[in-house]
């Protein structure tokens, strides 16, 4: 999701949702193909976390369309929690060698930007 001003109104775009969906697909795919049982379980758990985060992002878009900027903050923070839950699962070995953690960090950074912008509105 991204914010843009159009005709005096704030509009939400879909860019962030597509990125997050990619993380969901990546974690889901990794869960199916991982041979290490610990990584398999972590990837499966991450797929659930990203699925919940996608729901949060969809709710943020609805809140933004309604002008409920506090609601945007709440559900965006929820998305960040779900992203963090996935990231935390990889603090211990075995190491993840996929792009999942890097993409998750990027998505978390985007959520931080959304929070800053919505706090200014």
3-120 maps to CATH 1.20.140.40: yes
Instruction: Please determine, for residue 12, whether its predicted confidence score (pLDDT) is greater than 70.
Output: no
Task: Give the pLDDT band (50/70/90) at residue 1.
Answer: very low
Query: Do the bridges between strand 9-12 and strand 3-6 make them parallel or antiparallel, or are there none, so unpaired?
Result: antiparallel
Distance of alpha carbon 109 from alpha carbon 74, whole angstroms: 16
Q: Tell me which of 2 and 30 has the higher pLDDT.
A: 30
Phi, psi angle pair for 90, to nearest 5°? -105, 20
DSSP 8-class letter at 99: S
* Domain extent listing, the chain: 3-120
Question: pLDDT tens, 50-77?
Answer: 989 988 988 999 999 999 999 999 999 9
Contacts of 121 (CB under 8 A, 6+ apart): 10, 69
Using an 8 Å Cβ cutoff, are 108 and 84 in contact? yes
């Amino acid at each position: 999701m991204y914010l843009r001003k159009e005709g005096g109104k704030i509009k939400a775009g879909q860019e962030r949702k597509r990125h997050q969906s990619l993380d969901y697909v990546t974690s889901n795919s990794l869960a199916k193909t991982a041979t290490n049982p610990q990584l398999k379980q972590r990837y499966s758990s991450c797929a659930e976390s990203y699925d919940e985060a996608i729901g949060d992002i969809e709710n943020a878009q609805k809140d933004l369309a309604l002008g409920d900027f506090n609601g945007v903050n709440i559900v965006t923070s929820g998305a960040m929690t779900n992203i963090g839950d996935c990231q935390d699962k990889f603090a211990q070995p075995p190491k993840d060698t996929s792009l999942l953690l890097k993409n998750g960090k990027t998505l978390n950074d985007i959520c931080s930007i959304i929070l800053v912008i919505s706090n200014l509105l």
